[in-house]
Amino acid sequence: MPTTVYFATNRLVTNPADPINGYLPVMVPPLSPDQMTYGTAFVDGIDIATGAQGVVSQIATTNKGAFPPQALADLSSGRDMLVFIHGFDNTFSDAITRAAFNREWLAASGQPATDTTIVAFSWPSLGKLVTPPILQGDYRSDQTMARNSGIHLMSFLAALNPILRTNGRLSTLLAHSMGNLALESAVENWFLHQNAADRMFNVTLLAAADCRYDSFDLPPPGGFSRLPDLSERISIYYSQVDDVLKLSMVVNFAKRLGQDGPHNMADTTAFPPSVYTMVDCSGYRDYDFNFMTSHQYYRMSPSVRSIIASDMSRSAQASTAVASAAPAPRRRKRTA
């Protein structure tokens, strides 16, 4: 059975039925969220055991500026929801299949709140690996696109917000790599546009975040300083052996959030354990580890996948009367 992925994208779309060539690495005008494309995709061929991502077999009805009526009705059904923002080096098709794969491995965990409806936001990454010259090349292009997608991502979250908490559903936001830069910009824009604090997500998972390590230190509403106003809990997954982020640190002249966690993360006043969980994934090697995959541990390592599933299920446990009021312990580094 194919996996259904609801999506929104600020890519310029020339042929909505063609997931390979119809969704360009070009952004619709920043001040025209009504030009964003919303729709439903179906992905076939996912195999969790082998890591097969599958292929987009069909794009159903699409719409400009809002979800099509049938998609909106499906999203409003009350099922727990996972919202995914992809990283750099992802075409539109890549973003959709990655979202579908994430939905399936989480659902396969069998833990509460992990069998979700998946909604993906795809920003206009070139879908190319880092190539020289790095400072002027594909990486920099993706970085600019991610940062400038903040207004569109803000509009997408505003459109999704009314249905995120319907019928007691639980909602999770998962951002990977440079998707965290897009999210950072969206959070800034949310409050710069005078939107109110609204904890629309039960938990936000920041995985291998390719943004500055001091993103939580900036004066509000800069960086992630006001992310706690949009999410009840925040979990930061990082790895000191993430080779892609080591390169990003050199390019950007600044440590990345996904390398060693946030600045001053041991300060429980700045990062109260009831809100923040820090997960050091440096020691996990239970997958084919190399330069590129070191940045993909969140979906490739069975051990890390299990931790993420447990992290999501905490939201379900906290929503029941028998749940413990004590926060889960902060996870520390394990040895290889």
Domain residue ranges in the chain: 3-318
Contact residues for 254 (Cβ-Cβ < 8 A; gap 6+):
212, 213
What is the distance, to the nearest Å, from the Cα of residue 81 to the centroid of all Cα atoms in its chain? 13
What are φ and ψ of residue 245, in 5° steps?
Answer: -70, -25
Tokens of 84: 């995914």
Cβ atoms < 10 Å from Cβ of 267: 10
Out of 3.40.50.300, 3.90.740.10, 3.20.20.210, 3.40.50.1820, the CATH code matching 3-318 is 3.40.50.1820
Among 55-59, 108-112, 199-203, 332-336, the least confident range: 332-336
pLDDT in tens, 167-195: 678 999 999 999 999 999 999 999 999 99
- Give the model's pLDDT for residue 136: 52
pLDDT in tens, 56-75: 999 999 999 999 999 999 99
Three-state DSSP class for 270? coil
pLDDT in tens, 300-327: 999 999 999 999 998 878 765 323 333 4
Cα–Cα dist 263/240, whole Å? 14
Where residue 142 falls among pLDDT bands split at 50, 70, 90? very high
